[in-house]
Amino acid sequence: MRLLLPFLILVPGIALAATFEPPTPAAQTATAEVWFAVAAGCFVAALAAVQWMVQRR
């Protein structure tokens, strides 16, 4: 019993979970910025095409 008591006292400290550390966001790369610009340009072109098609009706 003498050996069991210190072990049972230390076990909960070992079993405790680590604190939560939120992940740090990665910096946006130049390649991602280029593709975002391409996608934004395509989106604006699609909106203009829809506007042109609807306006003709």
pLDDT tens for 17-51 read 678 889 898 888 999 999 999 999 999 999 999 99
Query: Which residue type is seen at 24?
Result: T
- Residue 1 pLDDT greater than 70, yes or no: no
Give me the sign of the Cα torsion angle 42, 44, 49, 54. Answer: positive
pLDDT at 14: 62
DSSP character at residue 44:
H
From the CB of residue 14, how many other CB atoms can be counted at a distance below 10 Å?
A: 6
DSSP class of 56: T
Choose from 3-7, 9-13, 50-54 the range with maximum mean pLDDT. Answer: 50-54
20 residue type, one letter: F
